[in-house]
Structure 1
Amino acid sequence: MDRFAAMKTFVRVAELGTLSAAARELGLTQPAVSQQVMGLERHLNAQLLHRSTRRLALTEAGEAYYREVRAILQSVDEAEESVATATIGLRGSLRVHGPVGFGQMHLSPAVIEFQRLHPDLVIELVLDDRIADVIAEGVDVAIRLGELKSSGLIARKLATFERILVASPGYLAEHGTPQSPDDLIHHRHVRFAWTPLGEAIPLIGPAGPVTVPVRSTFLANNAFVLNDALCAGLGIGGAQVPLVKAHLDNGRLVRVLPDHAYAPLDIHAVYATSRFVPRRVRAFIDHLSTSMARIEGLHMIHKPD
């Protein structure tokens, strides 16, 4: 038994929860994955997994072994990188996860440019508005917008941006321009299909925070669809400034209630551990920070040199 390979397989089984998922990711058959894990159990004379028809769970011994083995594998990666010199290009794989709207418009060009700079890397970009499980899904860097929940992950804050209320000039000419947040209830509203407050929006104005009821008539789960709906005159809605800056500049959209806005959104790069951050991950986050400094509508936390 190749004990090192079996240890790597066991860690992914523990994190993904099924033999089949680990087999797909590792390019192995499910019986091969099962044999490696059982080989470890025989070697250790201990049961590492509780097996059921649906999902695997770690035993108490498996939990302890997982923590130790994961640290060992990270140390091996760290040792291998420590002998690399600046003349050695970045190698290996890099899996990046990000939200659809910001990802498609601004993250994907940065990722494509990074791959051109480092052709020996294998890069996978996953755009999805859900919150990915960084460890279970093998994500090296996740780009997240908004407030972060406590998760045990490491986050580097990159930038912030505004979310404002906008509408098309045609809509305002036909329906009038609201003069106060309370006027929004008399207008058609365009919004994301899932929002914490539903038919209400939280704004910040000169007098502080205010929650305003709205009447939504068009909903979607994609920022580009919502922006198209706003440009088409379907109503008033919130927009991320980096995604609509061009529409504001060319007059397709105008700001509504300029004294009020949503709370600014933070952009974080999230990764699994601070003990050992692979060189490719550090390099990508630095590259992303430099790329984002060129995006209009973003306020960078630290200006790149």
Structure 2
Amino acid sequence: MIEQILSFVTVVDAGGFSEAGRRLSLPKSTISHRVQQLEERLGVRLLHRTPRVVRVTEEGAVYYQRCVRILAELEDAETEVRQEPKEPTGTLRLSGPIEFGMQILSGVLAEFLKAHPHVRLKLELTSRNVDLVEEGYDAALRIGTLEDSALVSRRILSIPRGLYASPDYLAAHGRPERPEDLDRHACLRFETAFYHGAWVFTGPGGKVSFQPAGTVEANNLTVLRDAAIAGLGVALLPCYQCREAERDGRLERVMVDWTPESADVYVLYPSKRHLASRVRAFLTYLDRNMERLTRDIRDGAGNSVQ
């Protein structure tokens, strides 16, 4: 049964029987036969097959999520009962926000994988809140206020942010100097499943909370940055993401006497007990590099880790 489940999961991950066979070092016919046996045993079709494409069915998608969990737990169980390897092994399953993953996390992961060559990586960058337990992830990186959860969470990084607008927008609409001025401006809002809410500033008048309003809302910071460059409004953005545009005059930072609340980054994982060696190694690597990475984000030095 486990061989059938492994074959099915690999077909879904690989997008077809031929690639699944290559990954498992088995003939395509063997993989197809195992999946067919699994479907017959369950009495349900898991995959739609055509000569050009293999697509998971609705029932297959539900079963796939459960199977990923089962295989991950089996891998962890084997690691626990045998002698702990000197080098972390297995597949590290991570989730994170799209732009943070592309612009910040990618450098950390590249160096981590170089340091631990026996670890494989499966990374999903998404704007949705994945269910770590149900979907079989080892850990997730999230930004913003966390909901109450049974997961273990730890803040690892704070990303400075600023208010930005284009010179053309400011020439046409004026320059906001304080939070109440923003009522007269188009605000470009960032909203996701795990990040939303008011803009909070600290300045000469203490801490002020402002609820932005405008015609543009997106779950992608690059889209909002480009909208600000195009003159569509004022955007609250990570400073590191705007440095190039600010340097070449496409964006200007406004309300410099008012400091926006930083965007806090958290790492989450299901339990402190019985962590696989690959997960412990990744958490340790984050701890060792976050201070340097924080400095690099602040100073604009890029993804420099060691």
TM-score by length of 1: 0.68
Matches for 1:65-144 after TM superposition, within 5 Å: 74=76, 76-80=78-82, 82-85=83-86, 89-144=87-142
Shift of 1:99: 0.2
Change (3 A) 1:145 1:230: same
Partner of 2:268: 270
- Structure 2 residue aligned with 1:32, among 35, 38, 52? 38
In the TM superposition, 1:188-207 aligns within 5 A as: 188-192=186-190, 196-197=196-197, 201-207=199-205
Q: How many aligned residue pairs are there? A: 256
State the shift of 1:98 in Å. Answer: 0.4
2:133 is paired with a residue whose SS is coil
Aligned-partner SS, 2:275: coil
> For 2:212 and 2:275, how far apart are their aligned partners in 1?
45
1:1-305 maps to which residues of 2 (within 5 A)? 5=2, 24=12, 29=35, 32=38, 74=76, 76-80=78-82, 82-85=83-86, 89-192=87-190, 196-197=196-197, 201-292=199-290, 293-294=292-293, 295-297=296-298
Letter in 2 for 1:29: V
C-alpha contact 2:159 2:297 (8 A) present in aligned 1: no
Aligned to 2:111, the other structure's residue is in SS state helix
* AA partner of residue 252 (structure 1): R
Partner of 1:62: none
- Give the deviation of 1:109 after TM superposition: 2.5
Alpha carbons of 1:273 and 1:114: their partners in 2 closer, same or farther (altered >3 Å)? same
Q: Give SS of 2:135's match.
A: coil
- 8 Å contact kept, 2:95–2:139: yes
> Matched residues in 1 for 2:89 and 2:77: separation?
18
Q: Secondary structure at the match of 1:170?
A: helix
Aligned 8 A contact 1:23 1:30 in 2: no
- Provide the rounded CA distance (Å) in 1 between the counterparts of 2:39 and 2:269: 26
What's the RMSD between the two structures over aligned residues? 3.9
The 1-side partners of 2:157 and 2:211 are apart by 29
1:220 to partner: Cα distance: 2.3
Q: Classify 1:250/1:278 alpha carbon distance in 2 versus 1 (closer, same or farther; 3 Å).
A: farther
Residues 79 and 157 (structure 1), Cα distance of their counterparts in 2 relative to 1, 3 Å cut: farther
Residue 289 and residue 242 in structure 1: after superposition, are their counterparts in 2 closer, same or farther (change >3 A)?
A: farther
Map of 1:43 onto structure 2: none
Structure 1: how far apart are the matches of 2:255 and 2:84?
Answer: 57
Distance 2:256 2:122 in 1: 39
Query: TM-score, length-normalised on structure 2?
Result: 0.68
State the Cα distance separating 1:252 from its structure 2 match.
3.4
Question: Which secondary structure does the structure 2 equivalent of 1:219 belong to?
Answer: strand
Q: In the superposition, relative to structure 1, how do residues 236 and 124 fare at CA in structure 2: closer, same or farther (>3 Å)? A: same
Distance 1:125 1:75 in 2: 22
Gaps of 5+ in 2: 14-19, 21-30, 43-58, 64-68, 300-304
